[in-house]
Structure 1
């Protein structure tokens, strides 16, 4: 499924947040969206999910305007994992994941053993199967975040949108989560803080600054030392690797620039 933003702009309280943003998400790719706080990442994710309408421009789903689709139709195609999504209901971890099946249920499609199997797999994928019976309010922030991912996977979308999905997770679960997303047979778009995570897992990166996309392409093409300095105001050394990957080393203020070699994988 192709998801596109076509010259979208959005403002809040008279303040411009996004300005003429255009983006085509290629089917099957893992696209990362990076940028400093306030650059418009979360706002763009909300527009792509159909939660907000752009002030101008259009969001297209396979060439069709997203605002012409019902919420159920959108939810069957697109799942969004937000930064913060809480509930006051006394539900179990499993029940939270079962909510992902809601778009697929109806009078002619009641809950079935197939739905149970999908929920079981989603819990297993995020390593939460053993906590399925625990009540939501007894879980840690990281455990709740993993359940949000499981709920989205249970939704069986064609496009998975993730807004800062590694918040509240320890480093092991951060890497495991992004690897899990990459292994899914669907299109994924993730707003990420960690540039090295984006470089490690994403096929392409969109770099945002001031409500615009200032660069779009392979990680090694987008994440240059000069561009990172201009957008984030920090000094880095970028180690280029084969396949368009790279690794970023952050330098303390005032330290000298170091020329980094291009690293190539040596096959055994």
Structure 2
């Protein structure tokens, strides 16, 4: 299943947020979408899942315009985890994950033992089985984020879209979560802040700047000191290992006007 974007434009308040973005998310790949704050990553994710309608251009799912499909049909193929997804309902953690089964439940397909098994597995996958009976409002931000991922996995999508999925997670759970996502037999696109996470887990990266797609390809070829300096405004050293492995080392800012005072004390 291929998710495609063609010449996407989207504006808000008279300001262009996404401009002329075209890309294909290939079956089975992990695509990282990176860029500084305000570069259009979150807006692009919303367009890709059909939550927002582009001002120009089109998003297509296996060649069919996503705006022509019902929300239920889209939800059976695409799961989207928003950066600030939240619920005000008084439900427990397991009930929150069970919401992922909604697109598959109907009058002719009531809840079954298979649905229970899928929810149980999703909770285990994100190391949240012990949270199942906890009320939602008692959970930390990191715990809630892991459960949002579990809800998306319970949806059993072909394509998983994640907007900053590692927000609120400690480093151990960040790595574990991305490793988990990488192992799923899914097509994945994730907006990521950490370039080293993108280099470690992604097959390709799409680099956004000012609402435009400025680079697209394998991390080892896309992540250069020149590109990172231009897009993010930071100085880095890019170390390259065997195969397609690369690691980004950030350098401290150079303040030409600052002269350190050396003391003999």
**How far apart are 1:87 and its partner, in Å?**
1.3
Q: Which residue of 2 aligns with 1:116?
A: 116
Matching of residue 48 in structure 1 with residue 48 in structure 2: yes
Cα distance in 2 for residues equivalent to 1:169 and 1:224: 27
Q: Which residue of 2 aligns with 1:135?
A: 135
Cα distance in 1 for residues equivalent to 2:231 and 2:133: 45
Q: Which residue of 2 aligns with 1:244?
A: 244
Contact 1:8 1:22 in 2 (8 A): yes
Give the structure-2-normalised TM-score. Answer: 0.95
SS at match of 2:165: coil
Cα distance in 1 for residues equivalent to 2:100 and 2:204: 28
Instruction: Output aligned runs, 1:73-222, within 5 Å.
Output: 73-222=73-222
SS at match of 1:96: helix
**How far apart are 1:55 and its partner, in Å?**
0.4
Cα distance in 2 for residues equivalent to 1:2 and 1:245: 26
Q: Which residue of 2 aligns with 1:11?
A: 11
Cα distance in 2 for residues equivalent to 1:87 and 1:42: 19
CA shift digits 1:88-115 (9 cap, x unpaired): 1110000000000000000000000000
Contact 1:218 1:245 in 2 (8 A): no
**How far apart are 1:241 and its partner, in Å?**
2.2
Runs (4+) off by over 4 Å: none
Between 218-227 and 236-245, the greater mean CA deviation after superposition:
236-245
Cα distance in 2 for residues equivalent to 1:16 and 1:86: 27
Cα distance in 2 for residues equivalent to 1:241 and 1:217: 18
Contact 1:101 1:154 in 2 (8 A): yes
Give the structure-1-normalised TM-score. Answer: 0.94
SS at match of 1:198: helix
| C-alpha RMSD over aligned residues | 0.8
**How far apart are 1:85 and its partner, in Å?**
1.3
SS at match of 2:79: strand
The alignment of Structure 1 onto Structure 2 pairs a total of residues equal to 255
Q: Which residue of 2 aligns with 1:70?
A: 70
